[in-house]
Every structure is written in C-alpha cells, then in structure tokens.
C-alpha cells in the first residue's frame, strides 16, 4: 500500500516540465538558430532536385552536436513537403550508419534501403551483389530522384573499408531512369583525407563545415528550448549559463547541453524540488556519464566484461598497471568462471576498445629494456566503479 501513496504523492506534485519532449534528442525545432547560413547552403546545393535534376553530392563535416543532422533533416523535410505539393517523384532516405545491426555493413545498408522502398530482404544468406541488383531494380522501376543521406558515414568505412562508398558512387551508372544524390555526414573532420581519391572526388563535390557553437550560442539555444519545455520560473538564474559552459567545454556540443538540462530537471523533480538548481546540473553530469558507461558495458560480451573486471580488481592495489598483469589475472578469472581463455592479442584489442569507450585510460609506453606495453589506469569516479563492479559480478555470476 506504500506504493499507492507514493503514486498519489507523485500525482499531487506538480511537474517541473511543461513539455518534456522539447528536450528529448529526437525533437526537431521549427527554426534552427545560428545555422541559417549552413541551411541556406545545403538548400542551394540540393535545390536542383526539385526540378528532378541530380544535385552534386554533398559532404558535411562537423563535431557532434553542431546541428548537422538537424539542419539536413530540416532541409529534407521542406523539400519533401514541396515535392508532395507539386507531385514530384522525389524521395529522401536518411540512414544513420552508427546503428548497430541495422546499417553497419554494406549488406545491411542496401537491405535497409530496400526496406525503405517497402520490400523485404532476408537478413543473411544472399550474396551482396544480388541484394544490390534487387535494389537497382526497385529503384529503377520508375523515374525517381533519390536523396540519400548517410549520417556518421565514417563509422561505415572504419569497419568495412571504402569499397562501400565506391559502390555507392557507382549507383548512378547502373541506373537508367532514376538518379541518386548522396549526402554524407561525418563527425570526423579529416575523414576524406584518407579516402580513395576516386571516391573522394566523386563523393565530395561540395563540402560544408559546421563550426561548433560557442557558449553564448548554446545559452541562446538552451533558453529557447527551456522556455517551452519548463514551466515559468523553474530554472534558477545561472543554470542555463552553467549548462552552456559545461557543453562549450566539450567542443560546443549542443545535444549534450540539452541532455544535461533535461536530466537536471528530472533529478530536481525526483528530489521533490520546485526549482532547478546548479547542484542538479553537477549531479546530472555525473548521471549522464555513468549511465553512458553502464550502458556501454552491459551490452558487451562476457569476455569483454571479464577483462574489465580484472582491471577493477587490480585497481585498488596500485594506480596503474600493464597489459601482462591484466592478462594474468584475466586468465585466472576465466578459469574460475569456466570461460575459455582468449589470446593476448585479443585482450590487447579489448583494452583498446575500453580505452575508446572512455572507461579506462590507456597509454602506450616503452619501459625501455623491459618492453613496450599499455599503461592502464581507471579514470572513473568511485561510485561509478562500485556500480560497475556490482553489475559485472552479477553478469558474470561471481560471488
């Protein structure tokens, strides 16, 4: 019955939010501030599509949270609207290549494209070129102009090499009626540099760079959203400024700032407060960070978790340690929980991945006569470590 009174209490309490989804990452605002120039530029490049002429391929660079995706989607949306009104055979497809198990290989990319045309293709079993020809057939059935947006395209090539991109650029050569225009979005500013020159020239006909927002701009963006998202007077002065400062520190990532603000609001609400204080922001930052890590660790394979557990066990003893030590302890652990032991080669890769995820800090050092190795140390806060340890023990069935 306690739970009933909790819910009653919950209902009685006023929410701090007026419209929470304004602060969710999927929300697309009507007008995008500080990006007018870039939006206009994209529009200029893609405009020929409305006359069913193929625009040049575009490549868009910019760090995370600089509004690339938002701007492109905005342009596409209005083009689609116009196309519909004028009965134009214009189609747009937006794909995020980061999505695991959806668009992270060549096969799956094409399969996903086919899905966008309302057909299904088996998840495996067919040769890739057959899937390609199905796609061509589908696309070529009638004259269409396709705007294909590939977000985080660098992820795709990192895994599979740039053959994929080469194949994509060749699509138009295979088609008789339809035409495809590619829009690539990349977080990596030097992405095109180490690309096959043939691919590069045909892919990046036009290039566009999104600069990061500065703290003031982020402040404006936050204020604009907060105005609608929260009830009036909920935000204490200084919160938005602090939030923007946090984000500006992280290369002007607006998405992060908005996330932070939302989580701070949630925390304040959960704590029964009527105002959002600066302290909530600090708390929110910790929570966002820890959630990210916990989430990343949870869906890693057992072997991966075991390696992390080994590091966790080693960490109280000394500040930093080397690959060999981790491997030794890992082997023992594996024996204990009856897991087959992986090679040191593999562990080396796993350590590199852990480093990428920001869970550990690994630096390759040379100890001179005593070899070369990774110097690993944990870079997380105490309470995250405890949470992680608990999680791993549960997941690995350790006592």
Partner DNA sequence: AGGTATTCACATGAAACTATTCTCTGAGTTAGG
Partner DNA sequence: TAACTCAGAGAATAGTTTCATGTGAATACCTGT
Binding residues for DNA, rule: CB under 7 A, are 100-101, 104-108, 122-128, 301, 303-304, 322-325, 327, 340-346, 348, 351-352, 364, 366-374
Taking the complex as a whole, the smallest distance from the CB of residue 347 to DNA amounts, in Å, to 7
User: Would you say 59 or 321 has its CB closer to DNA?
Assistant: 321
Taking the complex as a whole, the smallest distance from the CB of residue 10 to DNA amounts, in Å, to 40
Phi then psi for residue 44, to 5 deg, are -60, -45
Taking the complex as a whole, the smallest distance from the CB of residue 136 to DNA amounts, in Å, to 16
Helix crossing, 106-116 with 163-174: angle to 10°? 40
Q: Within 13 Å, how many C-alpha atoms sit on residue 97's CB side?
A: 25
- What is the token pair recorded at 249? 């520190």
User: Would you say 166 or 322 has its CB closer to DNA?
Assistant: 322
Strands (E), the chain: 58-62, 90-96, 145-151, 179-186, 206-210, 321-322, 360-366, 372-378
User: Would you say 283 or 355 has its CB closer to DNA?
Assistant: 355
User: Would you say 64 or 105 has its CB closer to DNA?
Assistant: 105
Taking the complex as a whole, the smallest distance from the CB of residue 343 to DNA amounts, in Å, to 4
Taking the complex as a whole, the smallest distance from the CB of residue 339 to DNA amounts, in Å, to 9
User: Would you say 29 or 324 has its CB closer to DNA?
Assistant: 324
3-state secondary structure of 276: strand
Phi then psi for residue 158, to 5 deg, are -60, -40
**CA–CA distance, 230 with 207 (Å, rounded to integer):** 38
Taking the CB of residue 150, how many other CB atoms lie within 10 A of it? 24
361, 318 Cβ separation under 8 angstroms = no
Pairing mode, strands 372-378 and 145-151: unpaired
Residue 132, CA distances (Å) to 12, 153, 215 in order: 57, 19, 46
User: Would you say 106 or 269 has its CB closer to DNA?
Assistant: 106
**CA–CA distance, 308 with 360 (Å, rounded to integer):** 9
User: Would you say 133 or 177 has its CB closer to DNA?
Assistant: 133
Taking the complex as a whole, the smallest distance from the CB of residue 163 to DNA amounts, in Å, to 12
User: Would you say 8 or 163 has its CB closer to DNA?
Assistant: 163
Taking the complex as a whole, the smallest distance from the CB of residue 344 to DNA amounts, in Å, to 6
* DSSP secondary structure code for residue 50 in this structure: G
Taking the complex as a whole, the smallest distance from the CB of residue 301 to DNA amounts, in Å, to 5
291, 384 Cβ separation under 8 angstroms = no
């Amino acid at each position: 019955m306690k739970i009933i009174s909790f819910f009653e209490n919950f209902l009685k309490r006023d929410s701090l939010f007026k419209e929470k989804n304004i602060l969710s990452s999927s929300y697309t605002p009507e007008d995008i501030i500080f990006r007018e120039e870039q939006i206009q530029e994209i529009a200029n490049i893609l405009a020929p599509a409305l006359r069913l002429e193929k625009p040049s391929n575009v490549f868009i660079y910019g760090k995370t949270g600089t509004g690339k995706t938002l701007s492109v989607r905005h342009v596409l949306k209005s083009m689609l609207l116009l196309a519909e009104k004028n009965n134009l055979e214009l189609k747009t497809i937006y794909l995020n290549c980061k999505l695991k198990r959806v668009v992270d290989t060549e096969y799956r990319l094409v399969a996903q494209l086919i899905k966008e045309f309302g057909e299904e293709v088996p998840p495996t079993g067919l040769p890739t070129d057959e899937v390609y020809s199905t796609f061509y057939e589908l696309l070529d059935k009638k004259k269409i102009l396709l705007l294909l947006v590939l977000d985080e395209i660098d992820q795709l090539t990192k895994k599979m090499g740039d053959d994929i991109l080469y194949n994509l650029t060749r699509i138009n050569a295979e088609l008789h009626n339809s035409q495809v225009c590619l829009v690539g979005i990349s977080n990596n500013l030097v992405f095109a540099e180490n690309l096959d020159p043939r691919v590069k020239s045909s892919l990046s006909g036009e290039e566009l760079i999104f600069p990061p927002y500065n703290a003031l701009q982020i402040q404006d963006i936050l204020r604009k959203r907060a105005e609608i998202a929260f009830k009036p007077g909920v935000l204490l002065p200084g919160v938005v400024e602090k939030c923007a400062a946090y984000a500006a520190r992280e290369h002007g990532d607006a998405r992060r700032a908005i996330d932070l603000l939302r989580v701070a609001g949630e925390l304040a609400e959960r704590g029964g407060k009527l105002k959002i204080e600066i302290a909530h922001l600090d708390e929110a930052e910790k929570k966002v960070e820890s959630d990210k890590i916990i989430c990343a660790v949870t869906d890693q394979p057992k072997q991966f978790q075991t390696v992390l557990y080994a590091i966790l066990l080693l960490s109280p003893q000394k500040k930093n340690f080397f690959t060999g030590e981790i491997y030794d302890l890992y082997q023992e652990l594996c024996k204990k929980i009856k897991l087959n032991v992986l090679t040191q080669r593999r562990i080396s890769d796993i350590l590199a991945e852990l480093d990428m995820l920001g869970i550990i800090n690994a630096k390759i050092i040379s100890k001179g006569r005593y070899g070369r190795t990774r110097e690993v140390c944990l870079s997380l806060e105490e309470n995250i470590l405890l949470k992680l340890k608990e999680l791993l023990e549960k997941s690995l069935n350790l006592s």
